[in-house]
Amino acid sequence: MSKITIISSSKNWLEEQAVAQLKQISTLPGVIRAIGLPDLHPGKTPVGSTVITEQLIYPHLIGNDLGCGMSYFLTDLSKAKLKLERLVKTLEPLGSLKEIPLPEVASFNSSPLGNSLGTIGAGNHFAELQTVAKIFDEATFNKLGFIKNQIMLLIHSGSRGYGEAILDEAIKLHQAQNGLDPTSRAGQAYLAEHYAALQWASTNRALIAYRILKTLGISLEAPRLIDCPHNYLSQKKDNDQTLYFHRKGSAPADQGAVIIPGSRGTLTYLVMPKDNLETSGYSLAHGAGRKWERSMCKARLENRYTRETIRLTKLQSKVVCHDSRLLFEEAPEAYKNIDTVIQSLLDFELIEIIATFKPILTYKN
């Protein structure tokens, strides 16, 4: 019986290199199953995957951005009072979120994230104001605390350099790439730091939201409705055996509603996992997944855009980003079709769609 499960469809673009990486990982000692979600794409380890093991854990299968995930905050800004151009003009002068002081909390002074605490980071991380596009399940939408005409703030970020330091130490001191016994001293030390990184990543997202809201003059009383990590290790009991779920760019499907964004120019989906969870390793896609390597984006796109048009999406949302290279690397064209990714999850009967959200303003460092 194959250890590999691919959650995809014929219409969904899937790179063979990512599948080959997943097959290679499936041969590691202790690996029971390796699952590729529809946003699967190659990386140092394949992104959009969940690897299930017993007796051994592999920190490098989770990667260096421990706790990276999505947080959804409900702002008090109503759609009727939205003045997009004013928000853009307020954000544009901001060179870095570090310019906005953090709340005075003693624990922040000893944060392992250091000066990176409360910052987004590069790559595909972002902060984005969104409005409701369509509600499919109004009862669940309301129960989760969402309000139809209120603007949402979506934050995507992780533990910054802290997670990388944890992974580097585990590999340097314990050769963790060969697997760690989770009950050993080295395994326990890694797990303790891993869980600390998850907490700091969640705190980091909250502080990014604080800084964005403060900059825009929006009330800081913005409840976090969902906090969904997608780079981390979780455990489940299967009879007397403990199974370890290594998620690298895959969202948990056993903790309630999940946020699945596309790119800055496409919709974000709010979904509820269905009961058919074992098929996908209790996991869902965490986004659209990359289609192009970063190095090729500018050459492919620079003739399609001007300095102004690359900061405007087809949904008429605006982008504030002072890094021109990053603007090209994170262009919507560099990503898979989010609707096709979602349809693959629907085809496998893994989700029900609660609502979709449309971007208004995307901020990247």
Cα radius of gyration (the chain):
20
pLDDT at 154: 98
At a CB cut-off of 8 Å and minimum separation 6, what does 281 contact? Answer: 5, 33, 35, 50, 52, 245, 250
Torsion sign, CA atoms 203, 231, 156, 329: positive
Query: Is-contact 68 229, C-beta < 8 A?
Result: yes
Q: What predicted TM-score, i.e. pTM, was given to this entire model?
A: 0.96
**100: helix, strand or coil:** coil
Domains and CATH numbers, the chain: 4-363 (3.90.1860.10)
Mean pLDDT along residues 24-32: 97
pLDDT at 124: 93
- Rounded to whole angstroms, the Cα distance separating 145 from 95 reads 33
> Given the structure tokens 């906005």, which residue do they identify?
100
- Rounded to whole angstroms, the Cα distance separating 312 from 318 reads 5
Mean pLDDT along residues 49-54: 98
pLDDT at 234: 97
Query: Is-contact 5 33, C-beta < 8 A?
Result: yes
Q: 157-193 burial by CB neighbour count: b if 16+ within 10 A, else e? A: bbbbbbbbbbbeebeeebebeebbebeeeebebbbeb
286 has catalytic annotation: yes
Query: What share of the chain in percent tops pLDDT 70?
Result: 100
With 80 as the cut, is the pLDDT of residue 158 above it? yes
Tens of pLDDT, residues 241-295: 999 999 999 999 999 999 999 999 999 999 999 988 899 999 999 999 999 999 9
With 70 as the cut, is the pLDDT of residue 354 above it? yes
Rounded (5°) CA angle 14-1-284? 40
Mean pLDDT along residues 333-352: 96
Residue closest to 50 by CA, chosen among 307, 232, 195: 232
Query: What share of the chain in percent tops pLDDT 90?
Result: 92
Task: Determine which helix (DSSP H) or strand (DSSP E) holds 210, and give its type and residue range.
Answer: helix 185-216
- Rounded to whole angstroms, the Cα distance separating 65 from 197 reads 9
Tens of pLDDT, residues 199-238: 999 999 999 999 999 999 999 999 999 999 999 999 999 8
Strands 351-363 and 31-41: unpaired
Mean pLDDT along residues 305-321: 94
**124: helix, strand or coil:** coil
At a CB cut-off of 8 Å and minimum separation 6, what does 92 contact? Answer: 320
Q: What are the C-alpha distances in Å from 151 to residues 79, 132, 222, 358?
A: 6, 8, 10, 10
Which one of 41, 194, 286, 322 is the catalytic residue? 286
- Rounded to whole angstroms, the Cα distance separating 209 from 107 reads 18
With 80 as the cut, is the pLDDT of residue 106 above it? no
Q: How confident is the model at residue 1 (pLDDT cuts 50, 70, 90)?
A: low
